[in-house]
Amino acid sequence: MTNAMTADLSSYLEEKRRVVHEAMARRMDVLPKESRLAQAMRYCLDAGGKRVRPILCIAAAEAVGGSQQDCLDAACALEFIHTYSLIHDDLPAMDDDDLRRGKPTCHKAFDEATAILAGDALLTYAFQVLCRPGPPSCESRMRVAEIIAEKAGWPGMVEGQMLDIQAEGKHISLNELENLHRKKTGALIEAAVLAGAVLAGADAARESALLEYAQKIGLLFQVTDDILNVSGSPEELGKAVGTDELREKSTYPSLLGLDGAREFARELTREALRALEGFDNRSDPLRALARYLENRRK
Amino acid sequence: MTNAMTADLSSYLEEKRRVVHEAMARRMDVLPKESRLAQAMRYCLDAGGKRVRPILCIAAAEAVGGSQQDCLDAACALEFIHTYSLIHDDLPAMDDDDLRRGKPTCHKAFDEATAILAGDALLTYAFQVLCRPGPPSCESRMRVAEIIAEKAGWPGMVEGQMLDIQAEGKHISLNELENLHRKKTGALIEAAVLAGAVLAGADAARESALLEYAQKIGLLFQVTDDILNVSGSPEELGKAVGTDELREKSTYPSLLGLDGAREFARELTREALRALEGFDNRSDPLRALARYLENRRK
């Protein structure tokens, strides 16, 4: 990646993060200030994060000529759902994590009951904003809501989290690992890209090419996550490293070796870029995002 | 309530329960049999329950000439959401209940992580079925999904559960108790009745009368729940009684006395019936349901 592209992507991401931040703030400002539930929801949303899913949604829409404005409800809903999933994953009964992005996790900053409810409320609020009337049309908004529910639910993310728990301390095959991650991490990334495509009115061929792209970067995201858990810096990541090995989790580095995992990440990046052949330069941010995910250090 | 009316309502409820049971089974049959997550979801749905919310949805639609068939997705979604809320409420960090309807609660039958995820998956699946294409129209289905999300989320049920936890061991006023219960129990009952009205294409006046009815029986439901917790039979209820007093919860009997709470229940029933004045005999099941709730023993 050249320096110029890095700089371009950085300013693109910065600008989109600002847009997403403002859109989320508008949707959170209506919640009552004095509610403990609302405080916990806001605490977790404000903890930061890269906003990868909302940005992917907008970037996918713009890649096929859609408008950012039409994506904002879906973009916020995706981040609400991602945030709820982190809150519940961090609970003592699940991963039992005390820190997230360098800050106390929700059940540490508040308490366990509040954390469970804040997750529930963020998930439900996602569908409240997805299902309100708005552009571009009832049909496309409802299709997006259905896609997101499917990818976030038992056919996707929640099942992935269940499989992840069941896999702990077990040796699983590469196929099982891929199935687990396609559900746990990949499904919501697919939902983000598909949502953008649908809201932009992409034709079937473009939609299917974007889905292919999303499947590749969804897996790429997890492969690099696994690599960072072995070789990353706790300071840059804002969370502990080496935890997968401690938990005896099967990961790409444990199954392929660190070099093998890095080669796999390169191949997934190439495939993601290939899926976008035939798209014009409006899809450059999607291309840059794939390269960024391959090379990310946090 | 005369014997004839009791018999009528019984067979009405039995028939509607069968319809709801079959509709839920069809929507659950697509889940993979071998998935632990799906097993936990099915276990909790099959634990029984009165199916009050799905039946209210159908009865409200039929009261204004709508079709049962058009309500089935919403009816199932309401029961999925109700069931998820019970699973999460029963968790050790919340009410810490071991039994529900005479059977081990989800985290007892499975484990805590599975119970959290089964709740999450049921909530998400509710919106998946609500947002798929179907009758009567995209606009009315999306409005129903939005209403249910609002009533089940931070403006409604989840906030009510939060307030309930915060009220434990405290003396709260009758106003605070009513606000808590309107959110915790009332909101989803309002959603059920409103969903039926919207799917049936009720005009604004009918919709508002049905909402008034729902608000009254929503509160009635909680008042009689509180009464049964004092004076009910554990065998009939399938759960422990006297638990509110043990937890030092403010309840209608604790604030109004048992007789006062019973008088309040009678008044709410009268007001619910008054809201239906001007409706023809197609709303008789709604009337009978109000009387049934007033006199229920489980």
ipTM: 0.96
Whether A87 has a pLDDT exceeding 50, the answer reads yes
Domain count, chain B: 1
Which of A142, A149, A159 lies nearest to residue B142, judging by beta carbons?
A142
| Interface contact A138-B133, CB threshold 8 A | no
Q: How far is B39 from chain A (nearest CA, A)?
A: 11
Which chain B residues are Cβ-neighbours of A119 within 8 angstroms?
120
CATH code at B248? 1.10.600.10
| Interface contact B121-A159, CB threshold 8 A | yes
Q: Whole-model pTM above 0.90?
A: yes
Q: What is the pLDDT of residue B36?
A: 98
Give Cα B280 distance to the centre of its chain: 25
Q: Which residue has the higher pLDDT, B5 or A153?
A: A153
Going by the DSSP 8-state scheme, the letter that residue A99 receives in this structure is: E
Each residue's pLDDT tens digit, A164-182: 999 988 889 999 999 999 9
Mean pLDDT is highest, among A120-129, A231-240, B237-246, for A120-129
DSSP code string of B185-248: IIHHHHHHHHHHHHHTT--HHHHHHHHHHHHHHHHHHHHHHHHHHHH--HHHHTS-SSHHHHTT
Q: What is the pLDDT of residue A6?
A: 66
Q: What is the pLDDT of residue B21?
A: 97
Q: What is the pLDDT of residue A1?
A: 45
Going by the DSSP 8-state scheme, the letter that residue A100 receives in this structure is: E
Residue stretches of chain B with pLDDT short of 70: 1-6
| Interface contact B159-A112, CB threshold 8 A | no
Name residue B42's amino acid. Answer: R
Distance CA A154, CA A138 (A): 25
Which chain A residues are Cβ-neighbours of B136 within 8 angstroms?
none
Distance CA A28, CA A76 (A): 10
Q: What is the pLDDT of residue B297?
A: 79
| Interface contact B120-A119, CB threshold 8 A | yes
Instruction: Find the length of chain A.
Output: 298
Q: Is A258 exposed, middle or buried (0-12, 13-18, 19+ CB in 10 A)?
A: middle
| Interface contact B117-A162, CB threshold 8 A | yes
| Interface contact A127-B138, CB threshold 8 A | no
**What is the torsion angle, in degrees rounded to the nearest 10, for the CA atoms of residue A143, residue A149, residue A150 and residue A152?**
140
Whether A131 has a pLDDT exceeding 70, the answer reads yes
Which of B84, B91, B142 lies nearest to residue A141, judging by beta carbons?
B142
Q: What is the pLDDT of residue B231?
A: 87
Domain that holds residue B50: 3-295
Task: Tell me what the mean pLDDT of segment A72-86 comes to.
Answer: 98
Phi first, then psi, for residue B232 (nearest 5°) are -80, 175
Least confident of A115-119, A227-231, B19-23, B200-204: A227-231
**How does the average pLDDT of chain A come out, rounded?**
94
Residue of B nearest to A90 (CA): B113
Q: What is the pLDDT of residue B1?
A: 45
Task: Tell me what the mean pLDDT of segment A35-58 comes to.
Answer: 96
Q: Which of B107, B131, B188 to mutate to test the interface with A (most CBs of A within 10 A)?
A: B131
Q: Please say whether the beta carbons of B81 and B119 come within 8 A.
A: no
Q: How far is B256 from chain A (nearest CA, A)?
A: 27
Which chain A residues are Cβ-neighbours of B117 within 8 angstroms?
88, 158, 161-162
Which chain B residues are Cβ-neighbours of A120 within 8 angstroms?
84, 88, 119-120, 123, 153, 158
pLDDT band at A242 (very low <50, low <70, confident <90, very high): confident
Peptide linkage before B104 cis (omega within 30 of 0): no
| Interface contact B158-A120, CB threshold 8 A | yes
Mapping DSSP onto H, E and C, the string for A216-234 reads HHHHHHHHHHHHHHHHCCH
Distance CA B73, CA B59 (A): 14
Instruction: Find the length of chain B.
Output: 298
Which of B121, B124, B141 lies nearest to residue A142, judging by beta carbons?
B141
Q: How far is A138 from chain B (nearest CA, A)?
A: 6
Name residue A82's amino acid. Answer: H
Q: Please say whether the beta carbons of A105 and A115 come within 8 A.
A: yes
